[in-house]
Amino acid sequence: MTKGIGEMKRSYVTAAILMAVVLSVGCARRPAIEYWFVDSLTKVFPDDPAGKERLKAATFHAARGSNASIQLALRPTYHAGNVYVDALALKGPGLPMETARVRWVEYVVVTTNTQNTPDDELLRKAPALFPDALFTEFPISIPKDQTRSVWVTVRVPANQQPGEYAGQLRLRQATDTVASIPYKLVVREAVVPAKPPLAVTNHFNMSDAHVSQFYGCSPYSSAWWSLVTNYARFQAGYYQNSVRANPVELVSVDAPGGAFRYDFSNFERFVETFEAAGVKGYIEGENLMERERRRDSTVMTSAWVVEGGKPELRAIPYDDPRAQRFLNSFLPALYQRLQERGWTKKYLQGILDEPNQWEIKAFLDTAEKVRRLMPGVRTIEPVGLRQDVGFMKKTVDIWTPLLGTFDDKMDLLRKHVTEDGGELWFYTCLSPRGRYPNRFIDTALLKTRILHWMNFKYDFRGYLHWGGNHWGPEPLKDTQPVINQGRTYLPPGDAYITYPNRAGRSLYSSIRLEQMREGIEDFGLLTELAKKDPERAKAIAYEAVQSFQEYVRDPAAFRAIQLKLLDALRNPT
């Protein structure tokens, strides 16, 4: 009996050993998910081999009050499902930072490359998949032998104690931890101002058709106002400080006896919603006129007219007497309401986006009307400086020239500030291309970030882009919508820098928008340094930007310049 028990014990031990060997062999053969850190200024592609662009050290530097982006590349040797990445609290000399947010980078389709751009300025030839959208929902699946990256954003509180903080990313499949991945974030003494002194506006499409298509809600419904609130909060998180609110479209109108009466309640609520969310600065009243993008097109005015006995908003020729009657009644009513709300000084009126020489009469007629009926209200106009802009001298307060059209016209622009008391912004859109920076998907992320170093170097006070969310029906598959009645095929990503979050009635970010935000923070740090050491600030800016077409292009070289900026802001007063 005793011998039988002993044999049974030996059998159990032998079986256990054999099972351990089997499990050990099985685990050794089990495919792995390879992971490595990549600079967040570097785009990660599906075919990137394991370890490509691997950082030598997982150590990152950030100013207080900034958003630090950290990118982790993943590449499984098997189809990996139920993948999660968790960011644990960073621990160091100050309070733990529980502000790390993890998103994953989705690939989008680029059908054709940006035209008129040298090959060495393009990341790869199209058609191809490019990383851009940032999504929040986990888990994700990663196909075998495909590389994908996750994007970790650490929001560093402005009062965080400087020092080295240890962070950890937990890579898991379902509930099983695959790896614990350490990294370090060095919080520097420099502090990004809460409101960098730069006007920032991305134009967001809130048209009825657009909102209905992507969010399924109608104007002024509770769902619509929820969408407006979410849009406002999102934009505030990326330093948008200009409320684009068109009073012509937002006003309610009735016409008893044929005389218009205007109710600005929705316009005011729209502005108040954005300001409550933190979008505080200018109110952009948008343009009073529009036209098709061709030489023989008629300049139109968006005007309320009586049709079938009730007011209707229509686009009619600017010289139509009905258009002039509308402006003559609407502008004074709007002006009175702006005065009552104390908004006159921050309200900006657009006239005609990018006016051409053959449209000057229409532009001047309407600009003169704004000057006369809304005294003290400033005007703003995006325009290319390859044409004579003398007509803007007395009609436009904020000149917003197109980057790439004023390399040799800086003296003219400075005179607008020093002699005319005007203000300067610049904008990008379909252009510039070539070696200029812009926000296109098929070019380097440094081109997006460096825009705001140019703002500092050349003393511009604002930045404008038309493409906030002008999506086509399939934003991930068609990043190049056709506009202008089918005549203009856009460069990849020009139409939008966000993606629709339909379920959340909000927006998803992109890696381009993340770098734009960090570029604005760089601008804020440069302006802070300029207060105490203007020559040092200029010297650091020059290292990054030598001219509009010559600027740092290597992420490692940019990081070295960034560290110089952070070092120069030690012991802030």
DSSP 551: B
pLDDT surpassing 60 at residue 434: yes
Beta strand 59-64 pairing with 176-191? parallel
* One-letter amino acid of 317: P
Is 69 a member of any domain?
yes
In this prediction, residue 498 has a pLDDT band, given cuts at 50, 70 and 90, of very high
Is 220 a member of any domain?
no
pLDDT surpassing 80 at residue 92: yes
Is 262 a member of any domain?
no
pLDDT at 293: 64
Domain count, the chain: 1
Mean pLDDT in residue range 416-421: 95
pLDDT at 486: 72
| Interval 21-64: pLDDT, tens | 333 334 444 458 999 999 999 999 999 999 999 999 999 999 99
Average pLDDT, the chain: 93
* One-letter amino acid of 390: G
pLDDT surpassing 70 at residue 457: yes
Mean pLDDT in residue range 182-194: 98
Is 383 a member of any domain?
no
Is 226 a member of any domain?
no
Is 342 a member of any domain?
no
Q: Indicate the pTM of the whole model.
A: 0.93
Q: Is the Cα dihedral 248, 254, 255, 259 positive or negative?
A: negative
The residues, ordered by sequence, that sit 6+ positions from 401 with a Cβ below 8 Å of its Cβ are 382, 383, 384, 385, 409, 413, 424, 426, 427
Angle in degrees, CA 181, 184, 187, rounded to 5: 150
| Interval 243-264: pLDDT, tens | 999 999 999 999 988 889 999 9
Is 180 a member of any domain?
yes
pLDDT surpassing 70 at residue 564: yes
| Interval 63-76: pLDDT, tens | 999 999 999 999 99
Q: Percent of the chain at pLDDT above 70?
A: 94
| Interval 135-174: pLDDT, tens | 999 999 999 999 999 999 999 999 999 999 999 999 999 9
pLDDT at 294: 67
The encoded tokens of residue 59 equal: 């150590």
Is 42 a member of any domain?
yes
What is the span of the domain harbouring residue 151? 30-191
In this prediction, residue 18 has a pLDDT band, given cuts at 50, 70 and 90, of very low
Closest CA to 285 of 203, 375, 390, 372: 203
CATH number of the domain bearing residue 182: 2.60.40.10
